[in-house]
Structure 1
Amino acid sequence: MTDDRTPTAPPAGPPPGTRPPTTGPAASAGRPAPLSATPPPARRRPAAPPRHPTDQRRPDLLAGRITRGGDGPCYGLVTDDGREYALHGTGMGTFATGTTVLVTVGPADPAATCGPGTPLGIVRISVVR
């Protein structure tokens, strides 16, 4: 016996105990597509090293540790590859010896003598934390 409040149509969806389809239009209705059973093609080994560096570094950007610090205008800097620089820049701030910094450099001031190392002028300097 049914009344108008009792549904007579079967519930939507697959019958209990069955698996939903994994391909076709029903699979794409809100369900992710299955992963491919075919492995991706293997990458070929390069025949030779790249002709140009793959990571372009800015030539005016240095990172390293301050070796001669203070309130300036001269600072000493050594990069991780061991290169030493004599940096000059007025009003750049106070940097303690051992501080790791990122420095944007420019041409050296010919009148400044800041000690051993390649002379460069400081455009901007900031502490790396």
Structure 2
Amino acid sequence: MPDDQASTQADRAGQPESTPSAGTAQGPTPSAGTAEGRAPTPPAGTAGSPVPPAGRPPLSATDLPTLGRPSAPPRKPTDNRPRDLIAGRIVRGGSGPCYGLVDENDREYALHGPDAGELPIGAFVTLRVAPRTDGVDCGPGIPLRIVTG
């Protein structure tokens, strides 16, 4: 067998082939140090490396602390909200003085506020309120007065 045929058979037997010429349209070949198309592992101590640089401890040398089970419920509420503020969507609106509001817990409020101005239906609002002392009936819901200014 001539030498050219022997080298061609060696190439087919798993020996690396020579790099194609610039005019040949072939797919990318794996670069040195990679295994079949996988990216090379970055050297230790570089960004993206799973191994910290020499002489430097890893970012978290210990396990994170875990909180234990509480021995009892909290003594005070943990979500202290002002009692004079309500937030919700206007369900009966307009220029007033009576409005309807439904909060996030589906509680309905009947609000009276002669100086509250225009509150369009569907608007999400947060209002400062107080107990109602007048005898005005603003429809279904918990009666409250809108505090302005």
Relative to the length of structure 1, the TM-score reads 0.63
Q: Which has the higher contact order (CA 8 A, sep 6+)?
A: 1
Identity %: 54
Q: Which residue of 2 is the match for residue 105 of structure 1?
A: 129
Deviation string 1:35-71 (CA, Å, 9 cap, x unpaired) is: 4623343321213332331110111110011111010
Unaligned runs of 5+ in 1: 1-18, 23-33
Asked if the contact 2:115/2:148 (under 8 Å) is kept, the reply is no
Q: What SS does the corresponding residue of 2:147 show, helix, strand or coil?
A: strand
Amino acid at match of 2:130: G
Relative to the length of structure 2, the TM-score reads 0.56
Provide the rounded CA distance (Å) in 2 between the counterparts of 1:86 and 1:50: 33
Amino acid at match of 1:112: V
Q: Which residue of 1 is the match for residue 140 of structure 2?
A: 116
Residue correspondence of structure 1 range 5-44 to structure 2 within 5 A: 35=59, 37-44=61-68
Amino acid at match of 2:87: A
Looking at secondary structure, tell me which structure has more helix per residue: 2
Q: Confirm or deny that 1:77 pairs with 2:101.
A: yes
Structure number with greater Rg is 2
